[in-house]
Amino acid sequence: MNGRAWPSGGDRPVVGFIGLGRMGSPMATHVLGQGFELVAFDVRGEALEPLVASGARVAESAPGLAAMVDVLITMLPGPPQVAAVMLGPGGAFQALRDGAVWVDMSTSTPAAGRAAAEEGAPRGVAVVDAPVAGMVKGATAGTLQVFVGGDAGDVERVRPVLEAMGDPDRVVHVGLRGAGYAVKLCLNLLWFIHAAASAEVLVLGAKAGVEVGTLRRALVSGPAGSVLLERDIDGVFEGDYDESFTLDLVTKDLGLAVDLGRELGVPLELSALVEQLHRRARALYGDQAGELSSVRLVEEAAGIKLRIAST
C-alpha cells in the first residue's frame, strides 16, 4: 500500500461497497473473500443478507458507510444514481474521511466525479474510476477486466482491492481520472456495433440459403472475424438473446457514448444509428429483453431465424 496508513489506522483498508445488484453482489463477495473488512449498503435490505452471513457489516445509509471506510466502491446503474448517492449536500462523498479513496466501478462518463475530485483534493480524498467488463459470469468468477483511471499513486493504493474482484493481469491502469470510463464506453460501443453488423450479415447469408453454422465458421476464419461472432453470439442460435445484460442498460451505455462524442466534437454517425436500432428493439421487446435483441429485429424483418442445423 505504498507504506501509507489508511484513515482507519491500518495498512490494509476497510472497504465499503454500495450497489449490490447482479454485478455488485458477487464483486463484494470476492472482496470479503480476500480478507478485507467489508461494510455494505444497498437500498434493498435482502441484497445484504448473503454478505452479512459471510461476515460483512451493514451501514444504515450511504453517508454512514462512507464515514466508516477507507476505500468506498460504488457499482450503480449510471450517472444519475451515482450522483444521487455520492454527490450534493449530504451525499456520501462529503462523509468520507481525509485520505480515503472513492472508486466508482459504474459505467459512466469522464465528467462524472470531476467536481468531487476537486472538492476532495484539499483533504486528500482521491477519486478513481474503474469500470469493468466480463458481465455477471466474470463478476461471479472474480475474473473481470478492470479499466482504471486516476493518479498512479492512488491506483496502486487500491489495486489489491481491484484485484480481489478481477483478473490481476487484466486490471489495467489506462490513464488519468476519467480514462477508465472512456475505455469502457468505447468497448461497449464497439461490441454493439459488431452485434448490429453481425445480425445483418448472418441473416443475409442465411436468407441466401447458406447453413448458419457453415456461414459463421467461414466468417470467423476470415479477415472480418470477431470474438462476438466466434463466441458471444452462440446463444442466438438457440433463441437466446442474452438477458444477462438487458436493453435498458444497453441503451443507457450507448447513449452515454454518443453523448460523449457530442461533447468532444467527434462525429459518431454509425454509433448514433446503432443506438437508435437498440432503442427500437427496446420499444418493441421491453426494458428487460436481452442485449442481442438487435439480431431478433433483423430476423423478424427478414422472416427467418438464425438456427444451426442439427447433425
Q: Which residues are catalytically annotated?
A: 184
List the grid coordinates of 148: 482504471
Residues 6+ apart with CB under 8 A from 230: 220
Compute the chain's Rg from CA coordinates: 21
Q: What are the C-alpha distances in Å from 9 to residues 38, 69, 109, 159? A: 16, 11, 33, 19
Looking at residue 290, the DSSP 8-state letter turns out to be B
Cβ neighbours of 288 (radius 10 Å): 11
Q: Where is 148: in which H helix or E strand?
A: strand 144-149
Q: Which helix (H) or strand (E) holds 133?
A: strand 132-133
Please give the Cα distance from 136 to 24 (Å, whole number). Answer: 9
Query: Which residues does 68 contact at the CB level (< 8 Å), separation at least 6?
Result: 14, 16, 39, 57, 59
